[in-house]
């Protein structure tokens, strides 16, 4: 009994201590970097925000307010360097060897398996080669109608809400639009999220995004084995299974062969070393693209609208371009060509993405030593 208690209480501390000693020289090197004061063992875990937005603003606060450049943050045994210098970022992002994704991405494995976002090495390379053609500009044309129809509906909903003179969450509303579009275009499934916010797929995606953000900087929720026992981990797994059930039961097989489904078609007809992709591989890539395809567009749309709202003079210019291109059909649907001609809008969207990237951080992990500028000053 005492032995058991001792093990339960002290084993984790011993393990942490062991990791600490094993990595002593590297940790010492890391500690030369600036960063918020850290406590023994838990590091900065206690200072991490408790919600995704609090978390992000804490990381920004250290960078912008406290002025730490390329700073270190320890969350329990997880040692992170938040790289803020553009030159160092370029070094890392163009490196041919520093390509292993951080174990932050492991949290996505139960759901996304190892799709493009989470895979590395040869699997990433071969899958990337298969998938790239389905992002050819021309393929977008096939989805023009879906995007147009669903967006018209979205605008109608916005109009109704704005007449009510109540405050609403624009980004949240945008989620439902992008979910509808991605399910329709990548999977050929109509989930009609805009009319059905409680849809099981919609809820699963939302929970997933929230849980990953929070686990990334929470030492107890971080490791997969801990998360399994933790409530949010548990919930996520159930939702994942429901999502899986949705894929397998509710999607009629013949929809897969419809010519509009470029993405799924590509996956189904591709071969790697002479064999077709397994069902699991297809599942991984589809989940990945449903996740990436709607989450990034949601924040892109929401931030662009936010910037237009706070810059009325720019908004006026966007409007003038629409007037000029669409003429009498200002409230109707734009053709594919007309959208391609919206050059000013294109610039506005790109500038918004520059100011507010859709993905707040990317993470890499390495065991190798690198000699880059942050160490030399």
Residues 79, 123, 144, 153: which binds ligand NAG (CB under 6 A)? 153
Burial class (CB in 10 A: 0-12, 13-18, 19+), 28: exposed
Interaction residues for ligand NAG, span 81-110 (CB under 6 A): none
Residues 190, 241, 242, 350: which binds ligand NAG (CB under 6 A)? 190
Minimum separation from the CB atom of position 196 to ligand NAG (A): 9
Minimum separation from the CB atom of position 195 to ligand NAG (A): 6
Helices 170-182 and 144-163 cross at an angle (nearest 10°) of 160
Residues 16, 27, 146, 349: which binds ligand NAG (CB under 6 A)? 146
Structure tokens at 161: 């809400």
Decide: is 158 part of the binding site for ligand NAG (CB under 6 A).
no
Residues 118, 150, 185, 199: which binds ligand NAG (CB under 6 A)? 150
CA distance 180 to 223: 33
- DSSP E strand stretches across the chain: 71-75, 78-82, 271-272, 275-276
Start-to-end CA span in the chain (Å): 54
* CB closer to ligand NAG out of 189 and 325: 189
Whether 200 and 183 have beta carbons less than 8 Å apart is answered as no
Burial 164-194 (b: 16+ CB within 10 A, else e): eeeeeeeeebbbbbbbbbbbbbbbbbebbbb
Query: How many CB atoms lie under 10 A from the CB of residue 128?
Result: 11
Minimum separation from the CB atom of position 310 to ligand NAG (A): 29
């010492």: which residue's tokens? Answer: 28
How many residues at the interface with ligand NAG, by CB under 6 A? 10
* CB closer to ligand NAG out of 148 and 315: 148
Residue 217 contacts by C-beta under 8 Å, 6 or more apart in sequence?
45, 48, 49, 55, 73, 75
* CB closer to ligand NAG out of 80 and 298: 298
* CB closer to ligand NAG out of 190 and 228: 190
Residues 43, 45, 180, 298: which binds ligand NAG (CB under 6 A)? 180
Whether 264 and 186 have beta carbons less than 8 Å apart is answered as yes
* CB closer to ligand NAG out of 23 and 148: 148
Residues 66, 95, 136, 145: which binds ligand NAG (CB under 6 A)? 145
CA distances in angstroms from 132 to 116, 136, 267, 341, listed in the order given: 11, 7, 11, 25
Minimum separation from the CB atom of position 31 to ligand NAG (A): 53
* CB closer to ligand NAG out of 149 and 237: 149
Minimum separation from the CB atom of position 254 to ligand NAG (A): 16
Decide: is 192 part of the binding site for ligand NAG (CB under 6 A).
yes
CA distance 200 to 283: 18
Residues 149, 206, 230, 364: which binds ligand NAG (CB under 6 A)? 149
Interaction residues for ligand NAG, span 46-75 (CB under 6 A): none
* Residue 349, beta-bridge partner list: none
* CB closer to ligand NAG out of 114 and 150: 150
Decide: is 184 part of the binding site for ligand NAG (CB under 6 A).
yes
* Residue 123, beta-bridge partner list: none
Structure tokens at 18: 């062991």
Residue 350 φ/ψ, nearest 5 degrees: -65, -40
The 193-232 site mask, x for binding ligand NAG (CB under 6 A), equals -x--------------------------------------
Interaction residues for ligand NAG, span 310-329 (CB under 6 A): none
The contact set with ligand NAG (CB under 6 A) reads: 145-146, 149-150, 153, 180, 184, 190, 192, 194
């Amino acid at each position: 009994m005492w032995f058991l208690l001792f093990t339960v209480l002290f084993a984790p501390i011993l393990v942490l201590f062991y990791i600490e000693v094993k990595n002593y020289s590297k940790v010492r090197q890391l500690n030369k970097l600036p960063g918020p004061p850290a406590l023994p063992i838990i590091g900065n875990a206690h200072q991490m925000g408790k919600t995704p937005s609090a978390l992000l603003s804490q990381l920004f606060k250290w960078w912008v307010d406290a002025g730490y450049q390329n700073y270190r943050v320890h969350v329990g045994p997880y040692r992170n360097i938040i790289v803020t210098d553009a030159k160092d970022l370029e070094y890392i992002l163009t490196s041919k060897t520093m390509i292993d994704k951080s174990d932050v991405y492991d949290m996505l494995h139960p759901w996304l398996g190892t799709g493009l976002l989470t895979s590395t090495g040869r699997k990433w390379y071969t899958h990337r080669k298969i998938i790239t053609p389905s992002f050819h500009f021309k393929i977008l044309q096939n989805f023009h109608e879906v995007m147009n129809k669903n967006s018209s509906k979205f605008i109608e909903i916005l109009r109704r809400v704005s007449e009510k003179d109540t405050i609403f969450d624009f980004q949240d509303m945008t989620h439902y639009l992008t979910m509808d579009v991605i399910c329709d275009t990548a999977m050929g499934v109509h989930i009609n999220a805009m009319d059905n916010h409680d849809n099981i797929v919609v809820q699963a995606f939302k929970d997933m995004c929230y849980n990953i953000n929070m686990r990334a900087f929470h030492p107890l929720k971080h490791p997969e084995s801990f998360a399994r026992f933790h409530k949010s981990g548990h919930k996520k797994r159930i939702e994942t299974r429901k999502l899986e059930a949705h894929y397998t039961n509710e999607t009629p097989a013949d929809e897969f062969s419809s010519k509009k489904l470029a993405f799924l078609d590509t996956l189904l007809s591709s071969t790697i070393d002479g064999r077709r992709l397994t069902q699991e591989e297809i599942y991984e890539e589809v989940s990945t693209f449903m996740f990436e395809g709607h989450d990034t567009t949601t924040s892109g749309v929401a931030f662009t609208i936010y910037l237009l709202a706070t810059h009325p003079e720019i908004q006026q210019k966007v409007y003038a371009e629409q007037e000029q291109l669409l003429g009498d059909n200002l409230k109707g649907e734009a053709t594919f060509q007309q959208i391609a001609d919206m050059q000013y809008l294109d610039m506005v969207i790109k500038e918004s993405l520059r100011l507010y990237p859709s993905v707040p951080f990317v993470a890499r992990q390495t065991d190798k030593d690198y000699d880059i500028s942050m160490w030399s000053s």
